[in-house]
Amino acid sequence: MMSDRAPALALGLYLIGLVAAFGVRSWLHRARTGSTGFRGISGAAGSAGWWGGILFAAALLLGATAPTLALTGTVVPPRQSEVFTWAGLVITVLGFLGVLASQAGMGASWRVGVDATERTELVTTGAFAVVRNPIFTAMLTTLAGLTLMVPTMVSAAAWLCLLVAVELQVRCVEEPYLLATHEQDYAVYAAVVGRFLPGLGRIHPAPKSGGIP
């Protein structure tokens, strides 16, 4: 049955996705730009940006741990309809493809983390014309699919950690950086395009004393 093979399939897909999204992408980026694109965790220890980075790493680790525990029998997922397992597989694959396509769409501007002294081109086309953070949206989609394939508390925790991580990273690190770097261009873009979902999380003009919603 598909549900019996789900942990092994989920783990295989996840590891392939990690290698493609971070290893291969970084290698290609360095070959084209001379930089790996990795900028590390932002902010001082204990800051919102720092916690975002820590939770992001935790989400990646838990994402691999969940199917591994199920595969070894340490954690036994509840029995579920094959429909949910197949749906999870489709969602996972679509999520991974979305991550890779969005990364490619960033071109030379692709980064993991933020260097406040660096200025890259503002990308607003392709998937970025639909949502401002399509890579994070696709990653959340991927972990949602994996959670359907291997429905355990560990896989759910991985998704939750990633959700909190990207919210902290985007709201506390990336958006302030982009507003400071691209100013009006980003303000106009963010007023029209949603943060993670179309139309949701747009940044509307605010009084000078205001901040990012």
pLDDT tens for each residue of 47-97: 999 999 999 999 999 999 999 999 999 999 998 899 999 999 999 999 999
Is 109 in contact with 120 (CB distance < 8 Å)? yes
* CA-angle at 164, arms to 60 and 46, nearest 5°: 90
Residue 209 has pLDDT above 80, yes or no: no
Confidence of residue 2 (pLDDT cuts 50, 70, 90): confident
pLDDT of residue 206: 57
Residue 23: burial class (beta carbons within 10 Å; 0-12, 13-18, 19+) = exposed
Distance CA 202, CA 188 (A): 10
d(CA 134, CA 114): 17
Q: Which amino acid is at 65?
A: T
Across all residues in the chain, what is the average pLDDT?
Answer: 93
| pLDDT of res. 210 | 46
Domains in the chain, please, with CATH?
2-35+43-111+121-192 (1.20.120)
Average pLDDT over residues 127-150: 97
Q: For residues 61 and 156, is the Cβ–Cβ distance under 8 A? A: no
pLDDT of 208 reads: 53
The tens digit of pLDDT for each residue in 168-184 reads 999 999 999 999 999 99
DSSP state string for 80-96: --HHHHHHHHHHHHHHH
Q: Quick one: what percent of the chain has pLDDT higher than 70?
A: 96
